[in-house]
Structure 1
Amino acid sequence: MLVSTKIPAERPPPVNVRRRVALGEGRTLALSVIAFFFVMTSYYVLRPVRDQLAGAAGSQSLPTFYAIVFVVMLALTPVFGWLVSRFPRKRVIGSSYLFFAASMLAFIPAFIAQDRIGAVSLGRIFFVWVSVFNLFVVSLFWSFMADVYRSQQARVMFPFIAAGGMAGALLGPLLTRLLVQRLGVPAMLVVSATLLLLALGALLALSGRRDINDDSAGAPVGGSILQGAKAAFSQPFLRYMLVLMLLGDGIATMGYTLMADYTKAHFVDNAARTAFYADLDLWTNCFGALLQLTLTPMIMRGLGVVWAMVLPALANMLLLLGLSLAGLVDLHVGGWTVPVIAIVLVGSRGMTYGMTKPASDALYTRTPREVRYKGKNFIETAVWRFGDLVVTTGLVALRGAGVGITAIGLTAAGLACVAAEMGRRAATSPDLLPEQRDDQPVI
């Protein structure tokens, strides 16, 4: 954080900090932003490729997909903690990113033969692979950022880095939308792998800089999923966040499951289905970015974090009530045909990315470091995937039993009301540390 110009000149440390920000941290921040931009662009080029498999297979296959993902994530999260606790950071990052780039290319023959292999068989493997990709690539990036920036610097620098990631999240689906109809689905794997290698180049350049604030010198960073699980069930704030994750993920996964059936019924061509999912990601990320730049900062500064946690759940309730009334129909606006379920999915996800996530991240800054990293990691990996499994299994069973979209929408709207209360309780949890003033050090 830059110091005030009112500080007397005889205090040399703040002056040195200002000089370092001007001369060194600008380059370091630029490399960090570039790296995360390419990481997120690579992921969002890949994501519609994964989602079109769900659309081809239909909702009946999603419980199996998510069950395999859940088991594999439970098994690999401790492995991830062991790797980062045992091996130097540069070695783990380099080998992981190279592995995922190479394995992307290895999937190309399978996607060329997708119609012959079948979306269900390919989806079982690719869903797991993309989930592992997300765990290792994104988690490693933020572990590195925790090494590079001290806590006070992080409060200033991380929003810029996150903005670079949001730019990548916008560009990724746009690239897929523009290229997949011309080049085909397999070519998008080449594009994603190239972007990931560009991210690796920026991270290696950053790791080699001498002016970064890395006291560990790239040493192992540590971490254990077991400590995170214990904290998640023993501390009030994390318990509220755990329930909120299950409820919020349940609403989003319900929309994703219904969308899988919609795309299976309306799209036969793999490229067209991929382009449709890229459009969903693009509109979702545009809405999320708009909220982050406009409404969310005003609410968090003016009304407080409590409202930023509650309002998305109330918006979800209204969207789900609309779904229960309208059903799975298409709206015709001008020359556009928009499914109601797409509006629900874009609105729900956009509110999560654009308001709930910034608000919850702000709350995590008021927790001890062990809670901030290990408990948060457990909730956002194992709990998240468990929610996917439960919701898809339950929804497929309900629809198989003849339960209509009206009853499903009303039930989900009720869950959104519960999510609003959980958001309020999380934001006012008694075990949160007091708010810090700008002149206090960050722990």
Structure 2
Amino acid sequence: MLSALAFFFVLTSYYIIRPVRDQLSGAVGAVELPLFYTGTLVAMVVLTPVFGAMVARFPRRSLLGWSYSFFIACLIAFVPAFMAQARIGARELGLVFFIWVSVFNLFVVSLFWSFMADIFDSAQARRTFPMIALGGMAGAVCGPGVTSLLVGVLGVAPLLLVSALMLGVALLLLLRLSVRDVQMHEGGAGEAIGGSLWAGVRELWTRPFLRYMAILMLLGDGIGTLAYAFVANYAKVHLATSMQRTELYAHIDGVTNTIGIVLQLTLTRWLLVRRGAIWGLVLPALVNLALMVVVMVYGSGTFMLWGMTIPMLAMTMAVTRGFAYGMTKPASDALYTRVPRETRYKGKNVVETLIWRLGDVVVTSGVNVFAAVGIGIGGMAAVGAGVSGLAAWVARRAGRSPDLLPDDAGRSATAASGT
């Protein structure tokens, strides 16, 4: 319950500021997304060794405290920048803010799940991670609601302070969890991990499981980013104002979160407990395959649902994200309980930050290249279908990687390995 509550506040903090970021991409269209994602990738390259050094040097409690406090301080620092937006320029501030929000999302959320993989064993993770993720989905619903409620009263800049407050509450809960875990396990889990600051990058080449997860991240994120680019182009062509674009992205987030909540309350937990984490990775890839086939047939068309006209591309983006948050994420994080602590923090962080944003740059650049040579949405969706099929195969390989600890191994097995 404490973990779910902490994740609620983490995602509430993020989703308070996310609509501002997303409407910027809708304003410029997919043609500018490679620039945005390249800036984010550069930030990841700079920050990844810094994070590795922190993991090697600081105990877990200090790592949580310093990392989350840094992002809280950044949120506060952005307040005067947004108040001076007219002097700074909307494009310049928008680019910086897009990059920073993306870094915030990746590092804060990735560190949270690394911590969860550290305090739960494999069997516990398959039972509890869907419910912890459900707490996050509640925050994903609450955040946009807070933004809609307060933005007209406070304006944009003060919302950053509200986001900082939510992240501060999450930090206090995580620190409490860390203390309890150390007390329960006689202190060993709270010690600094040590090792090289580049260990996470090195493990991509030496640990088969991490290679599979990196490939799966590229393939799975490729579909998500492709859908994001489709919607960005749709918003640029069909929606003239920032209010219309923000409303579209808010509706997409609402459908995404609804799908995620339904999955976490029903199918995901049953699937992870009864069938194992492998199927929690394979099934979303198969769903993505079906979605890409639908896009091949319908393209940028619309359909009616409960009296509303829904763009097919927007629904594709919502379903893809819903399965990613509601099933893929709990399943992949459950697998990380079966690797050494250094891999949970350093290797996992590299996959979920550096590799993720590398995939964003490749996919968005590829969309622009395809468009330049005359390949339309149907052709891109055909490529996406092939990628989704390959992702399902890689997911099965990842769940059966030979370097994973036995599925019934708990924290004692990890401790016995000396890591």
Interval containing the TM-score (normalised by the shorter chain) = 0.7 to 0.9
Q: 1:430 aligns with which of 402, 410, 414?
A: 402
Q: 1:411 to 1:146 in 2, by over 3 A?
A: closer
Q: How many pairs does the alignment contain?
A: 412
Q: 1:346 aligns with which of 295, 311, 318?
A: 318
Q: 1:99 to 1:82 in 2, by over 3 A?
A: same
- 2:160 maps to 1:189: yes
Are the aligned partners of 1:310 and 1:421 in contact in 2 as well (CA < 8 Å)?
Answer: yes
RCO higher in structure (CA 8 A, sep ≥6): 2
Q: 1:59 aligns with which of 8, 16, 30?
A: 30
Alignment of 1:319-338 (within 5 A): 319-338=291-310
TM-superposed CA distance for 1:375, in Å, is 2.4
Aligned counterpart, 2:101: 130
Aligned counterpart, 1:103: 74
Q: 1:384 aligns with which of 327, 348, 356?
A: 356
TM-superposed CA distance for 1:399, in Å, is 1.2
Q: 2:142 aligns with which of 171, 178, 199?
A: 171
Give the letter for the 1:132 counterpart. Answer: V
Aligned counterpart, 2:389: 417
Aligned counterpart, 2:39: 68
| Range moving further from structure 2, 182-191 or 210-219 | 210-219
| Range moving further from structure 2, 39-48 or 244-253 | 39-48
CA offset digits 1:349-371 (Å, max 9, x no partner)? 11122222222223333334443
TM-superposed CA distance for 1:182, in Å, is 5.9
TM-score (norm 2): 0.85
Alignment of 1:158-307 (within 5 A): 161-180=132-151, 184-203=155-174, 213=185, 215=187, 220-222=192-194, 224=196, 226-307=198-279
TM-superposed CA distance for 1:84, in Å, is 4.0
CA RMSD of aligned residues (A): 3.2
Are the aligned partners of 1:152 and 1:441 in contact in 2 as well (CA < 8 Å)?
Answer: no
Give the letter for the 2:102 counterpart. Answer: S
Structure 2 unmatched runs, 5+ = 415-419
Give the letter for the 1:325 counterpart. Answer: V
| Range moving further from structure 2, 325-334 or 287-296 | 325-334
Give the letter for the 2:169 counterpart. Answer: L
- 2:48 maps to 1:77: yes
Aligned counterpart, 2:371: 399
Local SS of the residue matching 1:365:
helix
TM-superposed CA distance for 1:98, in Å, is 4.1
Q: 1:221 to 1:372 in 2, by over 3 A?
A: closer
TM-superposed CA distance for 1:317, in Å, is 1.2
In 1, Cα distance between the equivalents of 2:345 and 2:57? 18
Structure 1 unmatched runs, 5+ = 1-28
Structure of greater Rg: 1
Aligned counterpart, 2:417: none
Are the aligned partners of 1:54 and 1:119 in contact in 2 as well (CA < 8 Å)?
Answer: no
CA offset digits 1:375-406 (Å, max 9, x no partner)? 22221111111100111111112112221111
TM-superposed CA distance for 1:192, in Å, is 1.3
Aligned counterpart, 1:20: none
